[in-house]
Amino acid sequence: MQYLPIFAQLKNRPVLLVGAGHVALRKAGTLLKAGARLTVVATYFADEFIQWQQQGKATLIESRFSPEHVAGHVLVIAATDDDVVNQSVFEAADARNILVNTVDDQPNCSFIFPAIIDRSPILIAISSAGTAPVLARRLREKLEAILPAHLGPLAQLVGAFRDKVKQKISGFAGRRQFWERVFDSSIVREVQANRLDVAQQQLEELLEREIPTQGEVYLVGSGPGDPELLTLKALQLMQQADVVVYDYLVSEPIMQLVRRDAELICVGKKAGAHSVAQEETNNLLVSLALSGKKVCRLKGGDPFIFGRGAEEIEVLLPHQIPFQVVPGITAAAGCAAYAGIALTHRDYAQAVQFVTGHCRKDGAEPDWHSLSRPNQTLVIYMGLMKVEHIQQQLLSAGRAATIPVAVIENGTRPEQRVFTGQLSQLASLVAEHQVQSPALLIIGEVVALQQKLHWFGDRPDQLAQQPLTNRI
């Protein structure tokens, strides 16, 4: 993080603006809106500046800039069309440890102006750290279109109730749950319809009701790794949770989207290194929910596809703990798509099977003959440790040695790697390229199309890089 995002209180504080051109005029308008006590130094002034002076909003100094002008100010902005003058302003302010912004000159800035979305008292600032201001402005335009105008009145209404809520409800967690109930209620619709008196009455009534203390569990699938593959509901519940219980397979970019002040508990499992037994995880979910917490059980992929989601829900039922299940894109679908592999194809595969490479506790083997049928795609989860055994069993069951195979490491992520070959080469592909978990094995005729259908990142067998999206 190159800059610390802060919101500065400038009301009645002295701010110096050097320059009075078009750009300076825009900066002056923003500063005056924030209540700054503005001084402007320039050799000429537009009519707007003169009107501000007459209205007592700004002090104008008709002069060339001198380093002494910066004294006594909390912020300084250089907005002239003379690089020499702007450099002099920066050096004078920086030498006095005064925060300074030089317009369109990021190296000569100790602070920068973000793109602003104003729904006062709600303010949203967007910054590219000075590297791409046009991109920041386009993001602002996107957000402006989706953020409703009633956000400001809604924030003012709930702000007037903060003290009442503090007196009524003790503890941060309880108050946060109350406010979430408010924002999920009809109060928001009443504010949107400009019926503020009705909204206020409903807020009063909601505050007088008994506050439930029982928690809830959200079983959320995070998909194979790309945060853009999260569902909207998954993201919403990740932001609402008091506690997030997560696995190793949940990617770091997705973990960055969890609510900042949520408690994080890792119960992840790795092959050969199970950190937390499943029974302990089950008991943890029950304990947290019974204590009144909103718990997000965050899993890689889909919780109901080799994710033990059903087992975890079963332990909630005797305690009558409310729960929700949010499906995620399973690794087979996500990784195959990003690798350019169609799991089914009219000419190559009329069926697909998902299996786990982990053996049952009783040592029973899967039906290898069923898994070896032609014209079907076989996707094997967690198969790295057993890859030699898998290869041998499929060959022994009659699958052709030349059938195409793919090994996908870190599928959908920027570091994705894809290796292709034949079934007889499967174990050697894993060993040669030192493939690490998470990885997926895909076996079947459809893999032959991978070279043609590839789209994500570099060419196959190379480190893949995620292309820029065209959503902006």
For residues 337 and 378, membership in a common domain is answered with: yes
Residue 470 in domain: no
What values do phi and psi take at 294, rounded to 5? -90, 115
Judge if 297 and 197 occupy the same domain: no
**Do 273 and 342 fall within a single domain?**
no
Tell me: do 234 and 163 sit in the same domain: no
Q: Confirm whether 132 is domain-assigned.
A: no
Is residue 298 within 8 Å of residue 251, measured between CB atoms?
no
Same domain, 299 and 363: no
CATH number for the domain spanning 31: value is: 3.40.50.720
The number of angstroms, rounded, from the C-alpha of 112 to the middle of its chain's C-alpha atoms is 24
Helix (H, G, I), strand (E, B) or coil at 458: coil
pTM assigned to the model:
0.69
In a domain, 119, yes or no: no
- Which is the catalytic residue, given 247, 293, 294, 386? 247
Whether 268 is covered by a domain: the verdict is: yes
Tell which phi-psi region holds residue 440, choosing left (phi > 0), alpha (psi between -120 and 50) or beta: beta
Q: pLDDT value at position 472?
A: 38
> Do 365 and 287 lie in a common domain?
no
- My answer on whether 79 and 94 are in the same domain is yes
**Do 299 and 397 belong to one domain?**
no
The pLDDT score that the predictor gives to residue 35 is 95
| 247 catalytic per annotation | yes
Q: What is the dihedral of CA 132, 133, 135, 137, to 10 degrees?
A: 170
- Looking at the fold, whether 240 and 347 belong to one and the same domain comes out as no
Position 387, amino acid: V
Q: Are strands 216-221 and 323-326 parallel, antiparallel or unpaired?
A: parallel
- In this predicted structure, what is the pLDDT of residue 465? 39
Q: Are 227 and 250 in contact (CB under 8 A)?
A: no
Q: Show the CA angle centred on residue 280, arms to residues 276 and 286, nearest 5°.
A: 135
461 occurs within a structural domain: no
The answer to the question of residue 97 being in a domain is yes
Question: Do 236 and 325 reside in the same domain of the chain?
Answer: yes
What is the span of the domain harbouring residue 165? 151-208
Number of domains the chain contains: 4
In a domain, 134, yes or no: no
Using CA atoms, how far residue 415 sits from 286, 429, 458, in Å, is: 36, 18, 11
Same domain, 340 and 449: yes
Same-domain status, 241 and 160: no
| Strand 14-18, strand 75-78: pairing | parallel
pLDDT score of 377: 97
Q: Give the residue from 113, 142, 160 where a domain finishes.
A: 113
Return averaged pLDDT per consecutive 10 residues of the chain, 472 residues in all. Answer: 88 96 92 96 94 95 96 96 95 96 91 88 87 86 86 92 88 80 89 92 88 83 95 93 93 93 85 72 95 93 94 96 96 96 94 86 82 95 94 96 96 95 96 94 95 80 39 38
Would 279 be classed as within a structural domain?
Answer: yes
From 329, 361, 396, the end of a domain falls on 329
Structure confidence at residue 146 (pLDDT): 84
Catalytic residue among 57, 94, 269, 461: 269
Q: Which of 113, 133, 168 is the last residue of a domain?
A: 113
* CATH code for the domain in which residue 320 is found: 3.40.1010.10
